[in-house]
Amino acid sequence: MTHEEIFLGNGAIALGLVEAGCQVVTSYPGTPSSEILPEVVRLIKSENLNTYVEWSTNEKVALDNAFAAAVSGKRAACCMKQVGLNVAADSLMSAAYLGTNGGLVIISCDDPGPHSSQTEQDTRLMARFAKVPVLDPSDPHEAREMAGLALALSEEFKIPVILRPAIRVCHARQGLIRGEIPRNGRKASFEKNPARWAATPKFRFILHGELNRKLKDIANRFDTLAPHNAHNLTTGKKYPLGILAAGVSYAVVKDILSDEARDDIPVLKLCAPYPFPEKLAGEFMSACDKVLVIEETDTVIEYFLRDHEKVLGRLSGHVPSEGELVPEVVYGVIDRALSSLGLKGLRDRGDGAAAELVKGLHLPVRKPTLCPGCPHRASFFAIRKARPKAIFTSDIGCYTLGLNLGGVDTCLDMGAAITMASGFYHSFAQDQIDQPIVATIGDSTFYHSGTAGLLNAVYNDARFILVILDNQTTAMTGMQPTPGLGIRADGSRGKVIPLEKVVAGCGIEFIEVVDPYDVKGMTGLIRKAADYVYHPDGGIAVIIARHPCVIAYREEAIPKKVKVTITDDCVECNFCLDRFECPALYKDEKLGHTAINQGLCAQCGVCLEICPKGAIVAA
């Protein structure tokens, strides 16, 4: 194919992987990384490849699996979001010491902003921490090249390599031309060598030395890694200010300088920042009186630059330390840096009038909310009704939005609904307080990291109600299948592992399944569960609230559609708006009471059960 196709950044990465002969790709979904694996699957189907793909149960599992593939001599990749790499950190740190045979690229996608994450953490710091090289592409095209480069580097130096695209690479679109895709994969082989693959601490010391030597060699490589690491200095010329830019920020800086025709400002692009290319950076530093460092999201390059007197960046207060470096922010950063040095500023600076204007318009705040018809909304309503005084520990997924319904009090990390519930229980129990606690966790999150916490809670006799919100998909990240469904990443059948069996295996004796659309039934069940929890012979009660996601399963999810309306019995108590918070419910100023937006309504009929005045009725 010779014509340009538009690729999503994550699709460009997938393309780069298969073009580089990557035979194994594992992943756990998470924004902004989720589309990489499905895009690999799309290529497998269109190009008839035999690449092995899996949705792993979590990121550590994904990395271990990909690592083994790389040890067997194949090229392998594992993909995750940046906080997923925290889960996989145990594997990463050790894999850096052991090294690889074939190529191993860990693709960890960063989310400056953050748009859809708990933190704005910078994967490049994890790379530095683990002592593995990291590549930071500036656009989809470069991400695709770097996917191949990472595998080649990994193989040459026998070291895992991290590719960290930021969200503006993952979710950018760009036209690309497909290249050759190799067909003949390598055969797996494993040569036993316990001193390496099962190294004890004494050997780990030796491996650490090897790792340090590899990093030195790779740093030399990175000194001349054009076009990813390169500057545009004119030899012998001195500059009052240079800009060192990395990753997506490089693209932003490039556009600004080109729009403003500022070729008087040289740029050092560092898209392969670690191991740090000292020589290249040194050249740039010595040609410039001051260097403005623009990198997302933390101070990685800035710390490596030895002459801090010369550097303008986060440490000097020139660059914001939180939030995404969007073009207007970078524009302001460059403009202020120029002005602070008495140099000519940028010409197209706005006066901020538009932003002030918008502020004064008091536009409706659009916070993310559960979809109309979402079964989680019904679950949270029932939970609050049955246990109004409980602490509601929750977890990561669409259902975090249960906080809009007052059904979520905490959200720490994957699996913490359960572990924080047991933590709260013991803290209150120590003071002889029977604090009601209801934990909510999604099906995919439970498979990801629910079991260890539940085993611990059962073993240590914590008491709480756990509601597993089973919508039979990984909804937030784009409807990836779970082990409970038994559908695999390529669409083939896998083994079904029912939640009930896993929960029973964790030692739970109270397990009930309910359809949350039956709000009364679920409310009653939660009360029954509460009795069990506080009985001396009781324990943790698990309720599986099972109803398919209305987005993933559309027709199937709402088989019996009910058109609803609101009568004049509505007294505007706002109970439904506050406690049910359905986007289809709104206050109609003309009618003088709450009404249904029929265009948004999913006709699930759940709201028929919630109005204290019985004003919501079938039409």
Partner 1 sequence: MENMNFVLSGLGGQGILFMTKLLAQTAVNRGLKIMAAETHGMAQRGGSVVSHLRIGDVAGSLVRAGSAHVLLALDESEAYRSIPFLARGGRLYVNAPPDAVVREEVRPYLDRMEITCRLFPASETARDSGSPMASNLALLGFFAAFQNGPIPSRELRQTIDQVSPDRFREINLKVFDLGFERGSAKKEKR
Q: List residues binding partner 1 (CB under 8 A).
A: 4-6, 8, 31-32, 34, 115-116, 138-139, 168, 171-175, 248, 250-252, 254-256, 258-259, 326-328, 331, 348, 350, 353-355, 357-358, 360-361, 363-364, 366-371, 398, 401, 476-478, 583, 599
- Residue in this structure with the two tokens 């939030």, named with its chain if needed: 323
DSSP state, residue 298: S
- Whichever of 173 and 208 has its CB closer to partner 1, that residue is 173
CB of 402 to partner 1, least distance (A): 12
Output the smallest distance, CB 399 to partner 1, in A.
Answer: 11
Closest CA to 582 of 595, 563, 569, 568: 595
Residue 81 or 131: the one with the smaller Cβ distance to partner 1 is: 81
- Identity of the residue, 371 or 466, whose beta carbon is nearer to partner 1 in the bound complex: 371
Diameter over CA atoms, the chain:
83
* Nearer residue to partner 1 within complex by CB, 70 or 370: 370
Pick the closer one to partner 1 by CB: 51 or 249.
249
Residue pair 369/583 in contact (Cβ under 8 Å)? The answer is yes
Residue 456, exposed/middle/buried by CB under 10 A (0-12, 13-18, 19+)? middle
Minimum Å gap between C-beta 326 and partner 1 is 6
The H or E element spanning position 383 is: helix 375-386
Strand pairing partners for 594?
587
Least distance CB 223 / partner 1 (angstroms): 23
The DSSP output letter for 493 is B
Give the SS3 label for residue 98. Answer: helix
CB 501 within 8 A of CB 531: no
For 479: left if phi > 0, alpha if psi spans -120 to 50, otherwise beta; the answer is left
Q: How far is the CB of 600 from partner 1 (least distance, A)?
A: 9
Is 608 within 8 Å of 619 (Cβ atoms)? no
Q: How many CB atoms lie within 10 A of CB 74?
A: 24
Q: Which is nearer to partner 1, 91 or 474 (CB)?
A: 474
Beta-ladder partners of 53: 25
Whether 421 and 457 have beta carbons less than 8 Å apart is answered as yes
Nearer to partner 1, 396 or 503 (CB): 396
Residue among 259 and 307 whose Cβ is closer to partner 1? 259
Q: How far is the CB of 157 from partner 1 (least distance, A)?
A: 30
Looking up tokens 């559609």 gives: 561
Q: Residue 21 Cβ, how far from partner 1 at the closest point, in Å?
A: 28
Cβ-based nearer residue to partner 1, 538 or 583: 583
Cα-based distances in Å from 163 to 123, 138, 149, 352, 570:
9, 12, 10, 37, 56
Burial class (CB in 10 A: 0-12, 13-18, 19+), 360: exposed
**Given the complex with partner 1, which of 259 and 289 has the nearer CB atom?**
259
Judge residue 322's burial from the number of C-beta atoms within 10 Å of its C-beta, 0-12 exposed, 13-18 middle, 19 or more buried: exposed
Work out how close the CB of 247 gets to partner 1 at its nearest, in angstroms, rounded to a whole number: 11
- Nearest Cα to Cα of residue 7 among 47, 53, 42, 54: 42
The enclosing H or E element of 532 equals helix 519-533
Return the number of the residue (255 or 434) whose C-beta is nearest partner 1.
255
Q: How far is the CB of 532 from partner 1 (least distance, A)?
A: 34
- Please, which residue, 334 or 545, has the CB nearer to partner 1? 334
Nearest-approach distance from CB 364 to partner 1, in angstroms: 6
**Alpha-carbon torsion (435, 436, 442, 444), positive or negative:** positive
Q: Smallest distance, Å, CB 296 to partner 1?
A: 12
How many Cα neighbours within 13 Å face the side chain of 121?
Answer: 16
Give the CA distances from residue 364 to residues 135, 137, 556, in Å, rounded to whole numbers and listed in that order.
40, 36, 33
CB of residue 572 to partner 1, shortest distance in Å: 23
Q: Are 101 and 72 in contact (CB under 8 A)?
A: yes
